[in-house]
Structure 1
Amino acid sequence: MTYRIALVCLGNICRSPIAHVVLDDRLARAGLDDRVEVSSSGTGGWHVGEPMDRRAAAVLRDAGYDPSRHRARTFSADWFAENDLVLAMDRSNLADIVDQAPAAGLREGHVRMFRAFDPEARDDDEVPDPWYGGADGFRDVLAMVERTTDGLVDRLPELLRDQL
C-alpha cells in the first residue's frame, strides 16, 4: 500500500517543488521511497507545465539535488482522494485547499501546514514565498524545507502505521 503526500504552494514553481525534490531525496535515503509517493501542485494555474523557477532550481542544484524533472501542476479537489496527506506551504494556500474540500468534509489530519513537522516552527508556521526576493530567500526556504522534511520523514513510520 502506497502512502501519498501532496505538497502545495501558490504557483508550484518555488516552494512546493523544492519540498518535493528534497522529500524524494530523504525518502530514498530512509529506504521509504517504495512506500511513499510525493507530488506537488499550486493553487493557481499560471505556470502549468513549466519547470520550476530558475532560482529555485539553482539553489537545489548547488545543494546537490536534481530539479530537472519538475513540471508545474494545479491542485484540484481530486487530490483529496488521491493523497493521504496534503501539506500547504502557507495559510493562504491552506485556505484555498480547504475551500475545495469534498462536501463530506476532511479526515482529521488530512490537510496540514507543511511546517507542522518543523521542530523549529513556533508561531510562524508558513514557508515564505521567495519569488519576490533574491537568492538568499531561496537558500532560506531550502534550509527550512530540509529541516521540515527531516521531521516529516522521522514521523512517517507513525503515519504509515496509522494508514493500516
Structure 2
Amino acid sequence: MQILYVCTGNQCRSVMAEYYTRSVLAARGLNNEDLDVRSAGTLHYPPHPADPLAIDVLKADGIDANPHISTPLTPDLSRTANLILCFEREQISDLLDQNPLAARKVFLFNDFVNVCSHLHADGPIPGDTVGDRLNEVMASVSMLRPFLPEAPETEDPHRKSREVFDRVYAEIKKGVNTIFDAVA
C-alpha cells in the first residue's frame, strides 16, 4: 500500500509526515509490510530541499530528512497512491481537479486521524494486514464523518517561527501515532 502525504510546497508538513511515518513503521517493525510512504506538493515549482526548520525538528527525533527533494503532485502520483492525506481542504480540491477519480482515497489528515481514533476506541479494526485495516478506515470515513467533530486543517509553518514548526510537528506526530496505534 502506498501512502501519499500532500501539502502545498512539499517542504514542511508533508515532509515531516513522510519521514516521521517511515520512522514509526521502522520502530514498529512494519517496514516489511509493503507500505510505501511518499510526499508531494500541489505547487509546481523546481525541486528544492525541505525547509531547514522541518529538517531540524525531525533531526531532534533522530530522523534524517536531508536527502528530501520536493516532488510536485501529478495525476500519476495520485493514481498510484492507495491513501492520500492532505493538510488543507484546498489541497484536496487541487488534487481532485487533477484527478477526480482520487475522491475515494483522499482525506484531510486530521479527519482521517479522527476516524482512526473513533474506530480504534470501538475495538480492533478488522483486517489481516496494516493495509487491510487502512482500507477499512478509508471505507468508514464517509459513514462516520457526520458523527465526529469537524477536523481542523494543519497550519502551514512555512516561513514561520521554530515554535510554529514545533507545534505543527507535534500535531503531525500525534496524528501519525493515532493512525498506526489503530491499524498496526
TM range (shorter): 0.7 to 0.9
- The percentage of aligned residue pairs carrying the same residue is 28
Partner in structure 1 of residue 139 of structure 2: none
1:77-125 Cα shifts (integer Å, max 9, x gaps)? 11232110011111111111111115xx3463x1111112435994342
RMSD, aligned CA: 1.9
User: TM-score, normalized by length of structure 1?
Assistant: 0.84
> What amino acid sits opposite 2:77 in the alignment?
W
> What amino acid sits opposite 1:17 in the alignment?
V
> What amino acid sits opposite 2:3 in the alignment?
I
User: TM-score, normalized by length of structure 2?
Assistant: 0.75
Residues 39 and 30 of structure 1, relative CA distance in 2, 3 Å threshold: same
Q: Are 1:41 and 2:40 counterparts?
A: yes
Partner in structure 1 of residue 127 of structure 2: none
Q: Distance in 2 between matches of 1:116 and 1:87?
A: 9
> What amino acid sits opposite 1:146 in the alignment?
K
Gaps of 5+ in 2: 118-147
Residues 137 and 113 of structure 1, relative CA distance in 2, 3 Å threshold: same
> What amino acid sits opposite 1:154 in the alignment?
D
Gaps of 5+ in 1: 158-164
Q: Structure 2 matches for 1:136-155, cutoff 5 A?
A: 136-155=163-182
**Which of the two has greater helix per residue?**
2
> What amino acid sits opposite 1:112 in the alignment?
F
Partner in structure 2 of residue 4 of structure 1: 2
Number of aligned residues: 151
